[in-house]
């Protein structure tokens, strides 16, 4: 850790053009694809600033490109969607042994969904939920050309969004499954037979918009939307569907994301995005969200099983979510019987 701090200080000193010191470097939970560290940048001219380092490890739960995450965050700086100030990106693995970027720390918030059900957050949970889907609507509204975000991707038409996502996540399933996945395979066949209509607009899709990726202040206000590592160009219904995926109902009841009834969340999103939700199309995207979730969980299982990453996060993701995710898919297809039947 001391070596990492010294190397980071050397790098940042070169970037700001004067000697800098890094103190308090501490790994924190956060993100499935990068190591995340908190530190203080001591700059003799500008003073001490709290920072976050997102460093690519040798392997990760989700394979993503740090430049896309960096660009997505920058596309929302100063908007209704609160994001940290993204400051520096480095894709050369030389300085720290992996690509990384540095952003300012947003202080005073909580990301653990379970802690949000406890004081002082619990009293504000519904209001936090209303903010959650209002912000997601704002994300859907944002012009994807902002700061050149769209230019990072191959051109995409509104009628191609569904197929691109379905093909991608089916490929992940093909590559990473350690055992057959009859429920997801049946869902894939159903999705191909019943494609959704073209996207109403092309949007920046956060890709992992869930309660655990929000930073919430003790008064219930959302002060940060984090972990843009799966951001891409696509149909905004994709984000809405992921946000109401039942595996995120951490209160284990019907509240989407542990916060609001699903219908209320959707109505808020409609008002904020200016888009009307076609429920049949949303159901398709919810099935896609379930496939995507399952692809991520089984990839985690493979990483752990093969020894590529023996992080407990990989094992817990697989054991906690795989079966629940299949049950979500069955439920969406109207095929879920009572437990044990």
Partner 1 sequence: MRPDVDAYFRELGRTLLEEFMPRLPTAFEQGAAMRYAMLTQAAAEEFNRAAARRVEENGAVRALFVQAIPLVENDGLRERLRSAAATSDRSLLVRDLDDSNGRLRALLIELHAAVEAQTGAAARKLEDTIWAELSASTGRRALSLGRF
Stretch that binds partner 1, among 116-124, 141-149, 281-289, 329-337 (CB under 8 A): 329-337
Instruction: Tell which positions 241-280 bind partner 1, by CB under 8 A.
Output: 246-250, 252
CB of 21 to partner 1, least distance (A): 21
Range 255-276 burial, b when 16+ CB lie within 10 A, else e: bbbbbbebebbbebbbebbebe
The correct pick among 17, 94, 182, 307 for binding partner 1 (CB under 8 A) is 182
| Burial group, residue 338, by CB count within 10 angstroms (0-12, 13-18, 19+) | exposed
Instruction: Tell which positions 160-179 bind partner 1, by CB under 8 A.
Output: 179
Whose Cβ is closer to partner 1: residue 156's or residue 251's? 251
Cα 265 from Cα 210, distance rounded (Å): 12
Q: Does 189 bind partner 1 (CB under 8 A)?
A: yes
Residues 6 or more apart in contact with residue 274 via CB below 8 angstroms: 137, 141
Q: Does 292 bind partner 1 (CB under 8 A)?
A: no
Stretch that binds partner 1, among 93-101, 223-231, 280-288, 318-326 (CB under 8 A): 318-326
Q: Does 146 bind partner 1 (CB under 8 A)?
A: no
Task: Give 15's Cβ-side CA count (13 Å radius).
Answer: 16
The correct pick among 17, 29, 94, 155 for binding partner 1 (CB under 8 A) is 29
Whose Cβ is closer to partner 1: residue 140's or residue 301's? 301
Q: Does 312 bind partner 1 (CB under 8 A)?
A: yes
The correct pick among 1, 154, 276, 341 for binding partner 1 (CB under 8 A) is 341
CB of 300 to partner 1, least distance (A): 12
Please work out the total of residues on this chain that contact partner 1, with binding judged by CB under 8 A: 40
Q: Does 337 bind partner 1 (CB under 8 A)?
A: yes
CB of 253 to partner 1, least distance (A): 10
Stretch that binds partner 1, among 144-152, 260-268, 278-286, 322-330 (CB under 8 A): 322-330
Q: Does 313 bind partner 1 (CB under 8 A)?
A: yes
The correct pick among 27, 49, 59, 79 for binding partner 1 (CB under 8 A) is 27
Q: Does 1 bind partner 1 (CB under 8 A)?
A: no
The correct pick among 78, 94, 119, 180 for binding partner 1 (CB under 8 A) is 180
Among 75, 51, 242, CA closest to 149? 75
State the residues that interact with partner 1 by CB under 8 A.
26-29, 179-180, 182-183, 185-186, 189, 246-250, 252, 312-313, 315-316, 319-324, 326-328, 330-331, 333, 335-341
């Amino acid at each position: 850790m001391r070596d990492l701090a010294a190397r980071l200080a050397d790098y940042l000193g070169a970037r700001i053009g004067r000697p800098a010191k890094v103190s308090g470097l501490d790994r924190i939970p956060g993100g499935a694809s990068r190591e995340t560290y908190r530190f203080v940048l001591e700059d003799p001219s500008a003073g001490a600033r709290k920072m976050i380092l997102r460093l690519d490890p040798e392997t990760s739960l989700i394979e993503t490109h740090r430049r896309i995450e960096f660009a997505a965050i920058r596309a929302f700086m100063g908007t209704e969607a609160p994001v940290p100030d993204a400051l520096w990106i480095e894709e050369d693995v030389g300085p720290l042994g992996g690509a990384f970027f540095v952003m300012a720390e947003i202080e005073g918030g909580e990301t653990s969904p379970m802690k949000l059900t406890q004081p002082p957050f619990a009293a504000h949970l519904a209001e936090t939920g209303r903010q959650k889907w209002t912000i997601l609507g704002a994300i859907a509204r944002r012009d994807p050309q902002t700061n050149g975000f769209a230019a990072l991707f191959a051109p995409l038409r509104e009628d191609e969004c569904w197929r691109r996502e379905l093909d991608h996540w089916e490929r992940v399933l093909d590559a990473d499954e350690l055992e057959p996945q009859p429920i997801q395979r049946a869902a894939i066949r159903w999705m191909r037979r019943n494609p959704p209509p073209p996207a109403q607009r092309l949007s920046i899709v956060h890709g992992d918009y869930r309660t655990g990726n929000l930073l919430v202040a003790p008064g219930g206000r959302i002060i940060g939307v984090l972990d843009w590592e799966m951001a891409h160009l696509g149909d905004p219904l994709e984000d809405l569907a992921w946000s109401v995926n039942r595996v995120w109902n951490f209160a284990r009841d019907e509240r989407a994301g542990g916060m609001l009834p699903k219908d209320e969340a959707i109505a808020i999103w409609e008002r904020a995005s200016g888009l009307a939700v076609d429920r049949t199309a949303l159901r398709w995207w919810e099935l896609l969200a379930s496939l995507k979730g399952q692809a991520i969980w089984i990839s985690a299982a493979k990483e752990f099983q093969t020894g590529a990453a023996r992080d407990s996060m990989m094992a817990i993701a697989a054991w906690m979510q795989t079966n629940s995710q299949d049950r979500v898919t069955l439920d969406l297809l109207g095929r879920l019987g009572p437990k044990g039947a």
